[in-house]
Amino acid sequence: MTRVFVTGSSTGLGLLAARRLLEAGHEVTVHARDDGRADALRRELPGPPVVIGDLSSIAATRDVAAQVGALGRHDAVIHNAGVYRVPQRVETVDGLSLTFAVNVLAPYLLTALLEPADRLVYLTSGLLSGGDASLDDAQWTRRRWNWMQAYSDSKLFDTMLAFAVARLRPGVRSNAVNPGWVPTRMGGAGAPDDLELGAATQVWLAAGDDPAADVTARYFHHRRSAPVPAVVERAPAQDALLAYCAGLTGTELT
């Protein structure tokens, strides 16, 4: 039996992944942004512990990490929480772009703060292929806002983070998963991919009960490994991203 923490698990892929893990007999800790979502989540999945916090805030993300830590070590973490279509630049309480704060900085900080798990899964997207790894204006304070570019950049950064952790923590299985364009609240009702398949790969990797999932520094789509942009595997680019996130949070990932 595996113990798994799933961020952003009140709806969509996170909720489905948590449900499938529970059905397979694993222990799961779920996460909701606020009390209202937590109450709804408890109705959907009675039993599992719920941690609460808005991952757009550095302080709240630290508190989520403390709540998870108080429950004890987890064998796996699925970094599922994310935002997608943000039509205009939204600034967080920390003065950051909402897209970067939730999609990139939160998984970075949780990885840095939580007791190291055996398996880490970072949700990314096929749109990473259009991402730009430049950190020159990662918060979009000078450029005209482009939500699609900001999202694509964030998913490229998530994949770089997964590969960086695999390099820095050899004993950890750290991978990125593209769930496809699936019909969730984020993806929209008309999304063409299969919702069950969208959650299957992260469940497979997190459960750790299949020797075929005993891999690291891979990018998966529907349980098949796929190539990544060259910058994802470049240690200097990874280190630049880690240093940037450490500068924003005051916490290094070691």
**The predicted structure's pLDDT at residue 242:** 98
60: in domain: no
pLDDT (0 to 100) of residue 180: 75
pLDDT in the model for residue 192: 52
Looking at residue 194, which CATH number applies to its domain? 3.40.50.720
- Structural domain of 91: 74-249
Query: How many domains, the chain?
Result: 1
Can you give the pTM of this predicted structure? 0.95
Instruction: Average the pLDDT over 114-118 and give the result.
Output: 97
Q: What is the pLDDT of residue 193?
A: 62
Is residue 99 within 8 A of residue 150, CB to CB? The reply is yes
Given this model, what pLDDT does residue 195 score? 76
Please, what's the b/e burial string for 24-34 (b: 16 or more CB within 10 A of its CB; e: otherwise)?
A: eebbbbbbbbe
The pLDDT tens digits for 15-67 are 999 999 999 999 999 999 999 999 999 999 999 999 999 999 999 999 999 99
Is 146 within a domain?
yes
Residues designated catalytic:
151, 155
Q: What pLDDT, on the 0 to 100 scale, is given for residue 1?
A: 79
Q: Is residue 241 part of a domain?
A: yes
Is 124 domain-assigned?
yes
Is residue 2 a part of any domain in this protein? no
Q: Is residue 133 part of a domain?
A: yes
Tokens of 218: 């891979």
Residues forming a β-bridge with 121 = 78, 175
Q: Is residue 51 part of a domain?
A: no
Task: Report the distance separating Cα 78 and Cα 5, nearest Å.
Answer: 6
pLDDT at 249: 98
Q: Can you list the positions of beta strands (E) in the chain?
A: 3-6, 27-32, 50-52, 76-79, 119-123, 173-178, 219-221, 224-226
User: Sign of torsion, CA 27 158 153 64?
Assistant: positive
Phi and psi angles of residue 84, each rounded to the nearest 5 degrees, phi first = -125, -85
Structural element, H or E, at residue 78: strand 76-79
How far apart CA 74 and CA 5 sit, in angstroms, is: 7
Structure tokens at 140: 């979009």
Whether 10 maps to a domain, the answer reads no
